[in-house]
Structure 1
Amino acid sequence: MHTKLELYQKVAPLAQLGIWERNLVTGEIFWNPVMREIYEVDEDYVPSDDKSLSYYHDKEGLSQLFCRCRETGEAGSGDFQITTERGNVKWIHIIVQSSFEGDKKGYLYGILQDITVKKETLDSLQHQEERFHQAFDNAPIGMALVSLNGHWLKVNKSLCNIVGYDAADLLKIDFQTITHPDDLDLDLMQMQQLMNGETNSYTMEKRYFHKNGHIIWVLLAVSLVRNDVGVPQYFVSQIKNITERKQQAEILIRERQRLDNIIKSTGVGTWEWHIDTNNMIFNAKAGRIIGYELDELGPDFYQSWQSLRKPEDQEENERQLNICFTRQSKFYACEYRMKHKSGKWMWIESRGKVVEWSAEGQPLLMFGTIADINERKLADQERRRTLEIISAQNSRLLNFAHIVSHNLRSHTGNIQMLLDLMIEEDDDKEKDKIINMLVVNAANLQQTLTHLNEIVKVQENGQQNKKSLNLHNEVVRTLEILSESLRNVDADVAIDINVGITVNYNAAYLESILLNLISNSIKYRQHDRQLKISIAASYISGNLVLEISDNGLGLDMKMYGHKLFGMYKTFHGNSDARGIGLFMVKNQVEAMGGKITANSKPGAGTTFKVEII
């Protein structure tokens, strides 16, 4: 081998260069140690033509390279992929040179370098560049490469759509040509700051002139690309069309201004709800409506407001919000009760509108108002109660008229018939019988008139003679009046009434109500078991309710419920039943502004509930 290889053999390992030589006459091949490292063979490996060629994927290409070099005498090179002795795939760069001496002996020699890392790096960069161009060209927002003097170098389709220009037309002009004059100076100033290294990027809202002449609002983000030594090369711009958003913002500003004017004139509270974060903002008036200053409600206004809303009203509030959020209605409106700082429940009305939606159609931002409607609601409740009373009174009046018409007609009809018989009768004994019958009918008529008169008195005198009565004491006194009757039937009476409860009531009516209801428990008891009577009082929705229950006969409410409080209505066939007691109780309760209800089941007993206003 040539002695000139000695120098190469010293420096080759430093440069990681494989050195080889092939004697074209003898076929002898020389490899330096780097060659063996590249091919991953042992130190004692003896290379041959066939074995060396077997490592290459493109054997034909390598053979052609060698042939050209032998035929032309010129150096050649190429990049080839090999599979090493250990099965690893590598890229190598080979340089070939031929040499012929006077005796026609020839050699092929050259260098070989492992370029696998370099090749993979270049491939990765190429893929990245391809991905960049793919992303650039198909980006949903406008993208552009811009020269340092403002000319468009490359633009994508989205940008062309935004400004209305074809790519070819856009590349003929600079961005300054289509920028609104009022926005140009700020844009140029920030570009200069980028080139000076004062900032890495900038973002701004600006206006472009569309090719058709109208204004387009965009959000512009700009960064600068520099070469390896830091010299600016070009700008990368991202442009998003925000015209619709800006228009919506202008509408929002106008609506907010209009709302502010309304608020000032009506004195209502206002709220702003960022729905995705549940962040709520109230004005001072909103807090004062329920008796609080804003700092008293704490930092989490949403949670504070939720905690003060009456739980029973939460479902209706959620329902109304859902109607608005699903766009069944443009507006949200709900009336609900809030706990005032004083501890009282008060009615408020909340109204609102969603002013910002996400791309998926979800509500993001909502504005609204809060108004104190407590007086109006109380007036409405009182009006409804008055209407109910009037309706009940009309019903009673109609019933009363029917009773008067029916009962008096029956009595007078009987008397008229008996008088006719007496006129025609000649027998004195028969006349005496008729007279006795007239006496009985007259007595019945008197009793009916007495009952009707009592009903009239109830309606006339209901609100008169009211006084403060201790409910527990009145119940005990009534039980003392009925003590003998209760003792005779071995009744077990339980009282669950707070001794401090007092009522403003007509004493005679309260006694009559208690006597009638407790007497009914005795009269309509089950004879095969001990009578149990429970008398309790509790507050329900702010009203006092007296409850009297027993385990007596009970009755079928589906069949008799609508007749239970009717006049002269009896249900169990008792000989002493007159059907007037419950009718009187109902009239007395309603005359005092309350109401009475019953729940009963055959064999299980009856429960009466009297609302005391």
Structure 2
Amino acid sequence: MARIGVWEVDLVNQQLFWSKITKEIHNTDDDYIPSLENAIKFYKEGYSRNKITEVVANCIENNIPWDEELQIVTTKGKDIWVRAIGQAEFINDKCVRFYGIFQDINTVKVAQIELNKVNEELNAILDSGTIAIIRTDTNGIITYFNEGAETLLGYKSEELVNKETPAIFHDKEEILKLSKEFSTEYNKEINGFDIFTTIAKENNVHPKKWRCIKKDGSSLIMQVSISAIQDKDNNIIAILGVGVDITKLTEQNNQLANFAQIASHNLRAPVSNLNSLLDLYDTCETTEEKEFTFGKFRTVIAHLSETLNTLIEAIKIKETKQSKIEIKTLYFSEKLKKTEEIISEEISRLNAVITSNFSATDTIKYNESYLESIFINLISNSLKYSSPERPPKIEVTTTINEGKIELKITDNGLGIDLKKHGHKLFGLNQVFHRHKDSKGVGLYIIKNQIESLKGTISCNSEVNKGTTITVTF
């Protein structure tokens, strides 16, 4: 129960009276004798003290009553909210006394402040540009579409509310697929928007990734939680969907999912070369042979850290702005030599012959790690898919075509049936020959690297005759 006290100021005799409850609210002793000056000082410094001073003066001078909610500081130093009500008594146009009620409203006021804070936070969420909140009736018709939904999906609230269902911005193929899955899961036929109503009626909060189509035709991936709004009798009266845009997060997760495969591929050549050198080192009999082999170790190990940098660049291609990709003058002949050093043991094992002709141009302004990745991946592929019927021959040349530099790498290997596999040649995890080290990652990596710098890559191949890969810079 709220504590309510009374008070009175006798201006004729300059006395202030507080009732027992008023003293309890101030947390003073029963024998405490207040004065007008001390009473004012109980009010919290700042707004509350300034306000009570103002209304008391206005009451005495102009006979204007007051009713204010203010803060005081008790004798124990505790801030509490009170309701102070006062009015004056005038005789012969002169104020002789003023009196009123003093009420402890701290519990109610604090709860009200907290409620207002929650409401402000809720309104901030409802109006957030990053969170979509959509409510429908039980038939699926949209009844609420917040600013966040407008921002993410491109529709205005007035275009959809009381007119459309969420089907307007959901991917139709995805809805059809999920209709079949949900029909099996719930053992009944579920079509279209019934997916959402079924989830809600089953009393499940169902977070799921959905592909949504924006008004401009572009798409985004949203994580949406769907739940039911119920009345006091637990009847479903509406369905609520809360969603956030996770498009970038999904892309990042996909990149991370491919990280192990890409790492395995790009590091395989130098690591394999190290293993071959270890085997060779074990067979060395003289000190000179061991020193020569150890020198090759240094060369391969020095290239490993650069290969790791290439890997990191490949992972970040789509996230990195071109302005941040370092461009400098490079020499094709130097990059070919470096590649031959990295995979020297594989070249030797297969008796491969690599020739080059950079007479058209030996220089290019390009990103160094990308160019090294192109060389190591394409030449490694030529060795990996060489024909068992003949020693590998690889020719590396440059040409100028319509003002653009072209790098061509031609081999006499197994070749690829382009009519059968051409459309997926540069896809991730695409393998076209049976080989224990085939992962289908290399061409995917360099295609992304090349295209990030506005270049192209193409292939001309014939089964059992060989392949030419052309990179246009």
TM-score of the two chains, using structure 2 as the length reference: 0.43
Higher relative contact order (CA 8 A, sep 6+): 2
- Which structure is larger by alpha-carbon Rg, 1 or 2? 1
TM-score of the two chains, using structure 1 as the length reference: 0.35
